[in-house]
Chain A
Amino acid sequence: MIELLGATKRFGARCAVDRLDLEVRPGELFAFLGPNGAGKTTSIKMICGLLSPTSGEARVGGRPSSSPEARRLLGYVPDQPYLYDKLTGREFLRFVVEMHDIESRRAERRILELIETFEMGDFIDELCENYSQGMKQRVVFASALVHDPKALVVDEPLVGLDPRSARIVKDLFVSQARAGCAVLMSTHLLSIAEELADRIGIVDHGRMLAVGGLAELRERLQHEGPLEDLFLKLTDDRRAGAKPASNGVAP
């Protein structure tokens, strides 16, 4: 459902993403890990059609990711979400469903479901300018799901959420994936990846260092410790200029 095929993105002389291959299948929850500046957000922006690859391809549902058809399939929660200050949360959700041309009765039903799921009933009719960070984040999540996307891309999903909201979001990722949605989440919280992800991709300097299930990665890297140790081992090796492993882990 979500594909990067040899995607490279150059900003002048700097290569932010280097021949990256990535696939997230329907029903899969994929965690995208990497240190700061590794190229995660650039990759996500290519998937969402906000940046076009310098070479290679980014596709959603088999369509080029910059096409309106691909955007209809996609729900996106950026690392710095945007809300209109002078709209209420409900008006914002209505705007999103109108942009996706969803039939009004079905849209209203869906909005009510999401208000209930994210427990937004107390504030959904206030202007967004009065929301706290957590309230904003919940509205943004609802807006990414209101059109029933086939692919959900989330950059740093738990920033600004209280433990209860974080729990809701985590459950939601799992339920979306189980319902057939391809979920790609980029995060620094390794525990979330460890807890939720079907597969994990570790990226650094724009290149995929390793990809696979947690058990698979442990086996390949011959490392039995927690994901944090595994992550640090991979990225530290890379910084130290170690040669790529010959055990199936990508250079």
Chain B
Amino acid sequence: MIKKTLVSCILVVLCTSIGLASDVSTVLNVRASLGNYASGGAASDFSGNLGIDFVPAIKFNDKLSLLPAVYLDYRGIKDVAEIVIGGDKVFMQSASYNVSVRPVYKIGSNTKLKLKAGVLKQYIVEAKNEDWGKGAFDYDKTTVGIDLAMKNATLGVSMYNITFPNYASLISQSTMQQQIGVTAAEVGTNLLDFAANDISAYGKMYPGSAFIIDWSLLYTMKNFSDQFVQKEDGKYKTDRRADTVTAVSLAPSFAIVPAGPVTIYAGLGISYFITGSNQNYYDVNTKDYIEKYYDYTETLLTPMFSFSFNTIPLKLGLSYGMSSRNYSQQPAKIDDNASGYVYGADKLKIDSKTLTLSIGYPLSDKLTLSAMMKSYDSSSNFTYTKSTEIYNFTSTNMYLGVSYEY
């Protein structure tokens, strides 16, 4: 209902706006690529990705403009981090449409107020018997937000709801709840649905010549509307799950060779995430109870280099991301011959490294040929290697494509 209302409002605003506009400027980006992915010595078939961004920017006067946006996305090539975690080589395609409007009001010469309302529909097909629109993890997102953009910084507040229309607890679908001894009233029905509130700040700093620091702060509160907190005996409290995510990022970048035929930019992305949750976990198999199962911190360091040349318009990119995720309460599962696995004394720790190589070559003013290769290496103290719980693996993917900017 909210989604339909929002879509209707967006359409009404859009139609009215075009009639009142003093100027309209259209941005159209199209990205298409072919590629495949590989892990454990086996490569996938070739597939494709397609992305389209369409933004007919509307200006009413010097102070007020409107940015309606439509983003369409199709992905047939899995990202390196997705290849094993969450389903190895599960047959997967995803597609989404994202429609939003952003009225932008200029308050001062360097200050703008930006509102946003948008809807996103994400389709994910992961099994042979899943049709488009029927994927277990399809979701809808509605977003509203407001940003205050100043000269070198932007402050923002946004609220979004994510609902999984095809994912309800199985117990809620059972007519034998009393017989089973578990009811949907205890467990919840729409387990994954949540409402989030974001507070964000981001911007740029210029501490020295050719030296830029991009920074961002994000604090998110996620409240699950229908997921109850699990207790020590496997039953459920009346409290609902609530998560918080704090993310701090700094990305200094600078030119390190300001002379000669090659220009090299160097950058270092530094991010730190703290995820907290009141949700616990009762493992029915081992009868173990783990408090604050989802709590973790993650540090991500990504040195990045880009190369451009005087003689040819070729651009090369190289980055090496190093991430370390440390769960504060969740123990690592280790192999146990008698029972398959047991929880070890050490908390789960996952380290990963991502090497990315990219090449871009402009074929014309608007058309660019690009290729990318990503290699991912994950290692962990989680030694129980069941296929969806593999934390020790390497994977790669490759893309070759074109992008068009109108």
A and B physically associate: no
Q: Which residues of A contact B (CB under 8 A)?
A: none
Q: Which residues of B contact A (CB under 8 A)?
A: none
